[in-house]
Amino acid sequence: MAQTLFDKIWNAHVVVAREDGTSLLWIDRHLVHDGGFHGFGMLRHAGRTLRRPDLTFGVADHYVPSHSRALPIADPEGAVLVARLGENARRYGFGVMGLDDPRQGIVHVVGPEQGITLPGLTLVCGDSHTATHGAFGTLAFGVGASEVAHVLATQTLWQRKPRTMRITVDGVLGPHVSAKDVILAIIGRIGAAGAVGHAIEYAGSAIRSLSMEGRMTLCNMSIEAGSRTGMVAPDDTAFQYLHGRPRAPKGALWDQAVAAWRLLPSDEGAAFDTEVSLDAGDIAPTVTWGNSLDTALPVTATIPATADAAQLAYMGLTAGQPLEGIKLDRVFIGTCTNGRIEDLRAAASVLRGRKAVIPGLVVAGSVPIKKQAEAEGLARVFTESGLTWGEPGCSACTGMNGDYVPAGERCAATSNRNFVGRQGPGSRTHLMSPAMAAAGAVTGTITDVRRVVA
């Protein structure tokens, strides 16, 4: 019987299935970050040990500062949580990439970068954007604190099998249209709850043409469409990215792994519960205007006459107002959605030779990416334009360690959520691609990047 990519991985990891429809899944990789202290607290309170330290990987990212690492963490709570991750690593015997580690970065950037993320595996983390790893044909999803504790203690997790959804994007993306625009357009089309109860597989010629950085952006925001996971079938693009990574298979084991991975894509004729199709040529640079992801619209559009009054009031906007020209106060470029080298190159290509007219912060997704950006001269482009070049971490995505947007100010952000107060109490967030955020930096307004860069 023809199977989907999701079905193949799910079925291979079921330890036992219950009559109520739930299954106990084996978990191949467990990523833990400095916000996962609750799970370890539950483990300690129950008097249990860590089942598989070798399959547990710690990364400090949520509470780390974007300022110089030579200075202490200003937020006392953040400092305690970063230190506690190290303490848990020593107590339970798993590895951790802390502030002084040359591999440190945002957990969903570090996993693929280090080859921890591999096709056909199950991977969980106490963070909703764990779906990022699905770009490699990995069944990856975020879990809550009690689930974190269950995985720590047993290396398994009870889950109810979701339905499947295939989102196909065929055709060719236009100039300056990126993966961020694709996923915003998808959510604008199906809604912020459009994929609830489903596992998404992204398919089509436009998806296959994306780099791994682009595919990770796409899968990262699957949660914003209501799905806990998003996946792209592994192919040569994924294999080339993973080859030679520190924790990827080596030598003959690599050849064996690739041979197995080539069997993972959905079989011809495999049935999906829901099918959605988009034409890549119809997708334009896209931005959000409200506090929900389904407020995403082409930058050339106007705010709908039927727009929610509460969202308009919070954002200080009016129905019928053009998106282009909305005044910005600052920009933020980075995060697990758009903090990879391709994203930084895209932003720098717009900023090169231009000056930002509003303040902004640029944060690489990891230390290796930061070093690469500096070696390529991208960091110099950012600083010469007037933006601040920070240290890797979650930073202003969630308003950590002073990296927040003041109440009433409007920020063009490359992050994944525009919720009320996401970047600080009273903050107003417009989500967009790195190139679009850079265009906003040099104009001071929401601007179609195609008007700035021919």
Span between the terminal Cα atoms of the chain, in Å: 50
Residues 357 and 425 in one domain: yes
Confidence bin at 71 (pLDDT 50/70/90): confident
With a cut of 90, say whether residue 380 has pLDDT above it: yes
Strand partners, 58: 32, 96
> Which of 358, 353, 296 lies closest to 331 in space, CA to CA?
358
442 Cβ contact list (under 8 Å, min separation 6): 350, 351, 354, 355, 356, 357, 385, 452
Residue 250 falls within a domain, yes or no?
A: no
Please report, as a single letter, which amino acid is at residue 408: G
Residues 328 and 181 in one domain: no
For residue 348, the model assigns a pLDDT of 98
Output the CA–CA distances (angstroms, integers) from residue 173 to 96, 210, 333, in the order listed: 39, 10, 22
Residues 20 and 136 in one domain: yes
- The CATH number of the domain holding residue 65 is 3.30.499.10
With a cut of 90, say whether residue 454 has pLDDT above it: no
Average pLDDT estimate for 145-171: 98
Residue 145 falls within a domain, yes or no?
A: yes
Residue 260 falls within a domain, yes or no?
A: no
Q: Give me 414's structure tokens.
A: 């490359």
Residues 147 and 170 in one domain: no
Residue 319 falls within a domain, yes or no?
A: yes
Cα-based torsion angle of the residue sequence 78, 79, 84, 90 in order, rounded to the nearest 10 degrees: 140
With a cut of 90, say whether residue 138 has pLDDT above it: yes
Number of domains in the chain: 3
For residue 371, the model assigns a pLDDT of 98
Tally of CA atoms within 13 A in the half-sphere of 259 that contains its CB: 6
Residues 185 and 138 in one domain: no
Domain boundary among 116, 141, 161: 161
Digit-coded pLDDT (tens) for 16-36:
999 998 999 999 999 999 998
Confidence bin at 325 (pLDDT 50/70/90): very high
Average pLDDT, the chain: 97
Digit-coded pLDDT (tens) for 31-59:
999 998 999 999 999 999 999 999 999 99
Residues 115 and 201 in one domain: no
For residue 368, the model assigns a pLDDT of 98
Average pLDDT estimate for 133-162: 98
CA 29 to chain centre: 17
Digit-coded pLDDT (tens) for 161-207:
999 999 999 999 999 999 999 999 999 999 999 999 999 999 999 99
With a cut of 90, say whether residue 394 has pLDDT above it: yes
Confidence bin at 75 (pLDDT 50/70/90): confident
For residue 402, the model assigns a pLDDT of 85
Domain that holds residue 59: 5-161
Residue 247 falls within a domain, yes or no?
A: no
d(CA 287, CA 188) in angstroms, rounded, equals 10
